[in-house]
Amino acid sequence: MARTRRSASADLGTKDRIVSVTAQHLARLGPRALELRAICTEIDISPSLMNYYFKSTEDLIWQAALHSYGEHVASQAGALLGAADGRQAVEGWIRQTIEWTREHPGIAALIDFPMLAVEGQGGADPEDLTRDLADLSRRNVATLASAVYAQLTGRPVRPLGVTKVGLLIKTNASFAYWTSIVGFASLGASMWVAGRRPHSFLWRAFGFSPDSQIDDVVSEVLARIDADGRQGAGAAELIAVAEGPE
């Protein structure tokens, strides 16, 4: 029995290492340029072990992408708890989204376009992959929404559940507006920054700095959320719903 437990533990450790290293390669290269032999060489395992642990290449790619994105979502939730107020929480969510995308462009593209995980691989259904992603995405949106709620209302920063966030979005137009604006703007800025290297010489030639432009936009968005909060923006209704039953 002890041998069985040790064997299972060793199997889990090997599989986790494969997923972790694949995620690192995937972050830089994206799914199409991923080389399984390079991963095997780095981990010092035989290619046949890939078939033992994963039913297909797309299965490995998707597990690696979910692993990396899951770490990002957890990091966003942790940063929320460490924020001093709603404004800091919203800005932190934006900045962390941009930086993670900059450092993981291959995985970010895969998360935004799940069909890239399977196109040309002859395997999985993108709808199945999207379903796997849905829970993580809902949790990440809930973290953002919690930050927006705190900034609009001036309440202490605390995580709101997915169900509560959905209810707030349905019942408060200002809250729904700013949650979507921050989310979509962060996504657009992230993809813009992550893909800027091939065009950087043009931007330099025109004296244009994407980072400084993003800083300006972030400051403007935060100021406008603050203004909405000062003007009311249905804050009393927001608080009543957030502190009421599900």
pLDDT in tens, the chain (246 residues): 444 444 444 455 889 999 999 999 999 888 888 898 999 999 998 888 888 888 888 888 888 999 999 999 999 999 999 999 999 999 999 999 999 998 998 898 888 776 665 555 445 555 666 777 889 999 999 999 999 999 999 999 999 999 999 999 999 999 999 999 999 999 888 887 776 554 566 666 777 777 788 889 999 999 999 999 888 767 888 898 888 776
Six-digit token string for 69: 């994105």
Distance CA 133, CA 126 (A): 11
Question: Quick one: pLDDT at residue 109?
Answer: 84
Contact (CB, 8 A) for 114 and 133: yes
In one-letter notation, the amino acid at residue 12 is L
Q: Is 166 inside a domain boundary?
A: yes
The parent domain of residue 173 ranges over: 64-243
Q: Is 77 inside a domain boundary?
A: yes
Beta-carbon contacts of residue 221 (< 8 Å; ≥ 6 apart): 94, 181, 182, 185
Q: Is 86 inside a domain boundary?
A: yes
Question: Quick one: pLDDT at residue 77?
Answer: 97
Distance CA 10, CA 5 (A): 9
DSSP output for 84-128: SSHHHHHHHHHHHHHHHHHH-HHHHHHHH-GGGGTTTTT---HHH
Contact (CB, 8 A) for 55 and 65: no
Q: 138, 105, 131, 137: which is closest to 33 by C-alpha?
A: 105
Contact (CB, 8 A) for 45 and 14: yes
Helix (H) / strand (E) containing 56 = none
Contact (CB, 8 A) for 93 and 144: yes
Q: Is 115 inside a domain boundary?
A: yes
| Burial of 214 per CB tally in 10 Å (0-12, 13-18, 19+) | buried
Q: Look up the pTM and report it.
A: 0.85
CA dihedral 63→110→70→98, nearest 10 degrees, is 160
Q: Is 26 inside a domain boundary?
A: no
Map tokens 């019942």 to a residue: 171
Q: Is 190 inside a domain boundary?
A: yes
Map tokens 């041998």 to a residue: 3
Write the DSSP symbol of residue 245. -
Q: CA–CA distance from 155 to each of 111, 151, 239 (Å)?
A: 32, 7, 8
Q: Is 148 inside a domain boundary?
A: yes
Map tokens 């209302």 to a residue: 153
Write the DSSP symbol of residue 197. G
Question: Quick one: pLDDT at residue 184?
Answer: 92
Domains held by the chain: number: 1
Q: Is 145 inside a domain boundary?
A: yes
